[in-house]
């Protein structure tokens, strides 16, 4: 038959094993027996609050109305519920379901199915759970494995993670690993390589080392100190990748910068500047301001409102530079449009149009149209038809040739 053992308030009691339930009065201290000291309770431990267990504690359930401290391992078969208080475990902790109003602190490994903490959750070692719900902050020094983490304030995990869904209202920092879906209201940072399927962050994202993932949607800035493989990037402000980037599409309101190459199977759309230290390639490249790279290649179109600055040139089916724009490096395309009062160097194409007031060094094409007040400082060679408006300044007479230079 199950028994009920009661411990008076403000007492210090030594217990061994209880077949039944344990009722602990307020501010009572429980000491176990054996080495290490241990207390086993087959039923439920009820604590009135401000209780200390100077031993390992195992029980079916733990219920408390106030603070509980366990100086040892805590092993609960089913549920832990602490109302109006905090639970501190100076050892390992295991349970199925944990509900703590104020705070939970575990110095070693924490293993649970579901944990719900109103204030803060802190673990000095590893954490393994299916569902973690914290109102304030989550801090873990060890590795964290979870299906779902939902934190209202901040998350700080120093080691690697394996998380299906991370949902944080404020800021989140992890030590690398795998996260299927990241949803953070403020900022997100990974200190080591990260694998992900989706990142959705309102403010700032920082990744480190080699990273591989899917879609990125960031309201502010996105920085990768290393390399990145991805599907689609949509960023309101700035994207910076210190290494190389490879993916499908990038849509950025401000600036894109990579320290090495940028390879896209889809489109690049940038409102401001695109700076790629090595080669950039995409299906379409559309830049509102400046495109700078060692070499730029597009399967279809390159459209730049400001300037194109390359060493080895830009190659595409269609290239257009906007009004008053500037092109440094050769252009090679089937169709080329140089905007009004824009400047270009060497142009190679099938159909070339220089709008009014444009300047170029050398123009080589099949069909060439030169608008009024244009200036060609080098030579013009064509194989098909040349059309020139009035007031065109040519340094040399145009030449119709059978073959154009490469």
Q: What is the pLDDT of residue 2?
A: 60
Residue 62: predicted pLDDT: 98
DSSP for 146-200, written as a single string: EEEEEESSEEEE-S-EEEEEEEESSEEEE-SEEEEEEEESSEEEESS-EEEEEEE
Structure tokens at 214: 């899917």
Q: What is the pLDDT of residues 49-93, one digit of tens each?
A: 999 999 999 999 999 999 999 999 999 999 999 999 999 999 999
Report the percentage of the chain scoring pLDDT > 90: 98
**Residue 1 pLDDT > 50, yes or no?**
no
Say if residue 183's pLDDT is above 70. Answer: yes
Asked if residue 36 has a cis previous peptide bond (ω within 30° of 0), the answer is yes
Tokens representing 283 are: 């299906």
Residue 406 has pLDDT above 90, yes or no: no
pLDDT in tens, 17-48: 999 999 999 999 999 999 999 999 999 999 99
> 259-280 pLDDT, tens per residue?
999 999 999 999 999 999 999 9
Given a contact cutoff of 8 angstroms between Cβ atoms, the answer to whether 387 and 405 are in contact is no
Place of tokens 């060890």: 142
User: Which pLDDT score, from 0 to 100, does residue 5 have?
Assistant: 94
What are phi and psi for residue 106, nearest 5 degrees? -130, 125
Residues in a beta bridge with 115? 98, 132
Q: Does 323 score more than 90 pLDDT? A: yes
* Rounded CA separation 200/17 (Å): 51
- Range 82-107 average pLDDT: 98
Tell me what the mean pLDDT of segment 206-213 comes to. Answer: 98
This prediction's pTM:
0.92
Q: Is the pLDDT of residue 213 over 80?
A: yes
Task: Give the domain ranges of the chain.
Answer: 1-108
- Exposure string of 238-258, with b = 16+ CB inside 10 Å and e = fewer, is bbbbbbbbbbbbbbbbbbbbb
């Amino acid at each position: 038959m199950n028994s009920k053992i009661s411990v008076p308030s403000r007492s210090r009691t030594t217990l061994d094993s209880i077949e039944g339930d344990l009722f602990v009065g307020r501010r009572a201290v429980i000491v176990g027996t054996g080495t290490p000291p241990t207390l086993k309770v087959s039923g439920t431990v009820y604590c009135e609050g401000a209780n200390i267990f100077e031993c390992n504690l195992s029980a079916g359930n733990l219920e408390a109305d106030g603070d509980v401290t366990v100086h040892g391992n805590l092993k609960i078969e089913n549920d832990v519920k602490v109302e109006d208080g905090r639970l501190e475990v100076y050892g390992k902790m295991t349970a199925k379901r944990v509900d703590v109003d104020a705070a939970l602190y575990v110095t070693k490994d924490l293993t649970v199915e579901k944990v719900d903490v109103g204030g803060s959750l802190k673990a000095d070692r590893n954490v393994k759970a299916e569902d973690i719900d914290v109102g304030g902050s989550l801090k873990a020094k060890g590795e964290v494995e979870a299906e779902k983490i939902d934190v209202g304030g901040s998350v700080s995990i120093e080691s690697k993670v394996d998380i299906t869904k991370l949902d944080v209202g404020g800021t989140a920092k992890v030590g690398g690993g795998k996260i299927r879906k990241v949803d953070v209201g403020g900022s997100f940072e990974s200190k080591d390589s990260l694998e992900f399927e989706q990142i959705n962050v309102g403010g700032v994202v920082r990744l480190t080392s080699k990273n591989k993932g899917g879609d990125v949607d960031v309201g502010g800035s996105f920085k990768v100190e290393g390399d990145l493989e991805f599907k689609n990037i949509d960023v309101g402000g700035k994207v910076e990748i210190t290494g190389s980037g490879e993916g499908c599409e990038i849509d950025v309101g401000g600036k894109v910068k990579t320290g090495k190459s940028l390879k896209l199977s889809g489109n690049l759309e940038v409102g401001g500047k695109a700076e790629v230290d090595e080669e950039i390639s995409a299906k379409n490249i559309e830049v509102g301001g400046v495109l700078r790279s060692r070499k730029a290649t597009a399967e279809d179109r390159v459209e730049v409102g400001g300037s194109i600055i390359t060493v080895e040139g830009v190659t595409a089916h269609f290239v257009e530079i906007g009004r008053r724009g500037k092109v440094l490096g050769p252009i090679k395309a089937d169709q080329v449009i140089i905007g009004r009062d824009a400047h270009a160097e060497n142009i190679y194409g099938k159909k070339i149009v220089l709008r009014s007031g444009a300047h170029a060094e050398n123009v080589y094409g099949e069909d060439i149209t030169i608008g009024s007040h244009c200036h060609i400082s080098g030579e013009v060679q064509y194989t098909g038809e040349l059309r020139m408006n009035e007031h065109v300044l040519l340094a040399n007479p145009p030449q119709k040739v059978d073959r154009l230079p490469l």
